[in-house]
A and B are shown apart, each in its own frame.
Chain A
Amino acid sequence: MIKSFSGVLGMSLVAFLSASPATAQDQAAVAVAATPAATGQNVAVAGGRSLHVMVAQSELKSDINPSNAAVYTGGGLLGGLIGAAMDSARAKKAEALITPVRTAVADVDADALAIAAAKAGFAKADWNRTATDASFSKDSSPAGKSAYLDTNPNAETAFVEYSYDLSPNFDAVRVIERIEVAAKSVPQASKPEKRLQPKYLVYSGSVASIVSLPDASKDKEANAARWAADNGKLTRAALSQAFNKLQELTPRLLAMTAADGDALNRDKKNKRIMAAGYFGRPQPTSDGSTLLWTGFGFAQITPLR
């Protein structure tokens, strides 16, 4: 419990610290190319690079808004205990609410959606031209990824992990793609699993695709009922839409150079905004959706169509 609590605190702190102050910048000057350029994550490498798709979960996950009890009580052990108990109760309720949705979409093969998204998203990466069949695993643990690096003959592997869930208020389906390119040989890493530490990664980035429920209620039970209704019709459509959006956003992210990312991070004239739980600088879109640069990648929020 303490570990989980401190984990949440840690993540919040990282998110807070990663936010840099706003400055001026011309959005057009940092517009990202629509097609992949010859950036490091796209070009072929000596020894080859493989694509490994991972989906650790077996069903749609639930999420909660973590309690602020620890903050309100001034912190300390008691505050932590109260907060953890509140989070536990919220998680139990979320699990109960999501169960009918899971049942309704039990036959949806999200693993296949993820594999298709990865194949399409990486199709134009030079190194991936021969990778017609991406490997797949449900083991996204550092130990599992390290074992994959050892058994795979290529010099590098692009680990692409997908997670999908319903937002805490049950007002959106969220699909997140995390890309980590790791090298098989990292002489500085003292243990095999340390090859996966951020400082040793060749590349990392993420894309989030959030599909919002039209006319969502503030009542999460009402929203959950809508996601489950009619054999999960809206959930099926939202998952499909979200994974499809990733196929568009992934090449765009991969085409970015480090300088492109820095330029977006320093674009202080373009104030960060909060949308669907994501904090970032809004980017122009042609379809009227909300697209944010989060500092690590993109988050796109689109209404369910």
Chain B
Amino acid sequence: MTLSATFDNQEASAVKLTANAARCPVRIVALTDVRRSPEMIGVYERRPIYAPQDRSAWLKSIVEALNTRGLAVAFEERADTPDTATAKIDLTTAWITNTNANVSASAVFKMQVTNSRGQTTEASYRGGNSRMPYWGTGPSLLQKAMDVAFARVLDSMATDLLKTCQG
């Protein structure tokens, strides 16, 4: 199967937002899939799982979901908003496998953030999802596992990005 290039953002976010707070602007200046074999997501029950062919659109679809986590994301390498935090994001892991009875997905982004004062930090953010397939192991289950893993990564990334707007 091939994963959808459109991220399904249905998983409830765990990010705690302040009521009526303005969304925190962030410019994504680089978004790259740095995995060794970016066309592959994994092998599940002896079947290959492929990444979407348009991986740029796929990554953008995932990172755009930061907009539902208190952020206002813009994809631009240059901008006339120097007081906005910038982020360089690398996808280092996107993997689905079977762990005994379960489908397990994991995703890791490495993110380098430069705040409006020019201070730069870098960290890796991880999300995972392990679930029992019950009666089926169809594409929707694998897609769901991967999307939930990405949703959890986005939560932890958003938590750190929101700090750039907090003084």
Contact = CB atoms under 8 A, between A and B. Distances in A.
Interface string A46-70: 0000000000111101111010000
B36 A59 contact: no
A3 interface: yes
A291 interface: no
B92 A141 contact: no
A285 interface: no
Contact of A106 (B108, B128, B130): B108
Interface in A33-85: 56-59, 61-64, 66, 84-85
Interface in B81-122: 92-95, 97-102, 104, 106, 108
Given A3-B137, A99-B126, A137-B37, A57 B100 contact: no
A175 B19 CA distance: 50
Given A2-B135, A58-B106, A143-B48, 20 more contacts: A4-B101, A5-B101, A8-B100, A57-B97, A58-B93, A58-B95, A59-B95, A61-B99, A63-B100, A87-B102, A88-B101, A88-B132, A91-B99, A91-B100, A91-B102, A95-B99, A102-B126, A106-B108, A138-B36, A138-B43
A75 to B, nearest CB: 17
A57 B133 contact: no
Interface in A121-137: 136-137
Nearest to B92: A106
Interface residues of A, number: 38
A2 B45 CA distance: 13
A21 interface: no
A111 B36 CA distance: 9
Given A85-B132, A91-B104, A143-B48, A57 B42 contact: yes
A58 B124 contact: no
Contact of A141 (B48, B102, B104, B126): B48
Contacts of B131: 88
Q: Which 9 A-B pairs have the closest CB atoms?
A: A88-B132, A58-B95, A87-B101, A138-B37, A91-B102, A138-B40, A141-B48, A95-B130, A56-B43
B47 interface: yes
A94 interface: yes
A19 to B, nearest CB: 23
Interface in B118-167: 124, 126, 128, 130-135, 137
Given A5-B101, A8-B100, A95 B42 contact: no
A90 interface: yes
A204 interface: no
B46 interface: yes
Given A56-B42, A138-B40, A141-B46, A95 B100 contact: no
